[in-house]
Amino acid sequence: MIHLTEEESARYAGHEIAFDAAHKALVAASDPASKNFPVVLGHCSDPADRFTVKSGTGGPLAGLKVGSYFPGNDAIGQPRHNSLILIFDQSTGRIGATIEGGKLNGYRTAAADAVATDALARADASVLTLFGTGHQAFYEAEAVARTRDLDRLLVVGRSTDKRDAFIARLRDAGLPAEAGDAEAACRAADIVVTATTATGPLFDAAWIKPGTHVSSMGSDRTGKQELPPALLRSARLFCDLPSQSRVIGEFQHAYPEAEITAIGAVLSGDVRGRETADEITVFDSSGIALQDLYIAEAILEAAGRSIGSDR
């Protein structure tokens, strides 16, 4: 069995490899032959320490990802999020590879946002508003910035100190970050990305101007919510997996008759994405196992490893 440590997977991780893997995974997810199985939502002895199990199969790949969220890790200098991917060797039924992927998961999640934004945002989009200043938000900013030439990156956060430190980090990475008030930042935005743990709307639907693209990246569990339901009534809705988004994603808050399109169908050319410069598009990413399997495959290839070769 192949095992890649956190340090090894991080060595090969990056936005380019993640973007390519996410594109393949999202296209595969819209293929009826691929399967993403129901998500397991669990917690540890302390209910605040949570974990998620996502599993699926697509093409030659089958396996699962266990993701954890331990909010108290801040106090011990450890990341809140961690991740472990397991891929089956389908010739034997044994686990063929395990990949520790805390950092890899940050790239993987942001890549879905980047792929969807690239497909749905206006070509001339130049102002990004980002809600969130945590672990994942930095990856989102870098990934989306690779899809459009940004003049401004407006950061909205609850804590002024954390927001300012986050902005400094973004500027060090060469991004045009500045602080923004929620309403003014939304009204100025061509792209809005939410990467939070919110359980209620972060802004008013009326603040989103025509032609804006919105990505909700934080809703991956029942009860989570980042967007106002009124926005979901007026926008065109896209996601990684409609059946999952309705249960644990942002679209659990969409009205029952809402038409929700898998972004993979847009990427494969089966469905049109943005049709007019004025329409508002929304992408919900609740995260699917195929993203983990495809990026794991790419990392193994980059490391010169293949399942079955170590037997």
| pLDDT (tens digit per residue) in 256-288 | 999 999 999 999 999 999 999 999 999 999 999
User: For 2-105+290-302, which CATH class?
Assistant: alpha beta
- The whole-angstrom separation of Cα 58 and Cα 87 is 12
Checking if the pLDDT of 310 tops 90, the result is no
Q: Where are the domains of the chain?
A: 2-105+290-302, 112-287
Which candidate in 65, 103, 162, 209 is catalytic?
65
| pLDDT (tens digit per residue) in 156-185 | 999 999 999 999 999 999 999 999 999 999
What would you measure as the largest C-alpha separation in the chain, in angstroms? Answer: 59
CATH T-level fold of 112-287: Rossmann fold (3.40.50)
Q: How much of the chain exceeds pLDDT 90, in percent?
A: 95
Checking if the pLDDT of 195 tops 80, the result is yes
* Catalytic-residue membership of 65: yes
Whether the CB-CB separation of 266 and 272 falls below 8 Å is answered with yes
Checking if the pLDDT of 311 tops 60, the result is no
- The whole-angstrom separation of Cα 222 and Cα 252 is 8
Instruction: State the chain's mean pLDDT as an integer.
Output: 96
